[in-house]
Structure 1
């Protein structure tokens, strides 16, 4: 294995993940769904994959996907959290901010 490859693998393992709150909106229906994620950079792929498979646990979001398709839904970030050393503190903050954004956007939690 080359030194460059080893360095790339090490950098990948040490990268910082950005936790936060996201929103999925349906322009046609006006509906919105909010959720929390330990990694905002990967959550959209996870959501879209489960929706494509017809397996997303949120029935109303899955129904919007079925009715309007991928082009009918938009993904956005509401808030990024500062890096927390403690997973407990990060998780508590995510829950608190999720409730704030749910109320602010009059959205359903996914």
Structure 2
């Protein structure tokens, strides 16, 4: 990602930026991420998990043990289109931290 999330729209397409989570229902563990492209990020996680190449080895092990149906993918917050170009990566990181707190996730419940 670059300094601002709205810098490179492609042919009129502006990706949705925001906060998302991936939760394993069997373990209760959750990954909370921030991105400048919500759909792309979640699809990337799904692809890596399905192909056994996710960088988070604990999440990968849970996926291998319980399968795709044990995982929920959720969008928690989305940056409004009019705010998109002025949103920095630091803003997304801060928003992600707020969601980790709001979801009540401690270290034992996160990936």
The equivalent residue for 1:84 is 84
State the alpha-carbon separation in 2 of the partners of residues 64 and 43 from structure 1. Answer: 19
Instruction: Determine helix, strand or coil for the equivalent of 2:95.
Output: helix
Is the CA contact (8 Å cut-off) linking 2:19 and 2:76 kept in structure 1? yes
Q: How much has 1:57 moved relative to structure 2?
A: 1.1
Q: How much has 1:42 moved relative to structure 2?
A: 1.9
Q: Runs ≥4 in structure 1, deviation > 3 angstroms? A: none
State the alpha-carbon separation in 2 of the partners of residues 85 and 74 from structure 1. Answer: 29
Pairing 1:108–2:110 present: yes
State the alpha-carbon separation in 1 of the partners of residues 75 and 28 from structure 2. Answer: 17
State the alpha-carbon separation in 1 of the partners of residues 92 and 60 from structure 2. Answer: 24
Higher share of residues assigned helix: 1
**In angstroms, what is the RMSD of aligned CA positions?**
1.7
Q: How much has 1:61 moved relative to structure 2?
A: 1.2
Is the CA contact (8 Å cut-off) linking 2:17 and 2:84 kept in structure 1? no
Q: How much has 1:46 moved relative to structure 2?
A: 0.7
- Can you give the 5+ residue segments of structure 2 that lack an aligned partner in the other structure? 1-9
- Can you give the 5+ residue segments of structure 1 that lack an aligned partner in the other structure? 1-11
Q: TM-score, normalised by structure 1?
A: 0.77
Q: TM-score, normalised by structure 2?
A: 0.77
Q: How much has 1:35 moved relative to structure 2?
A: 0.6
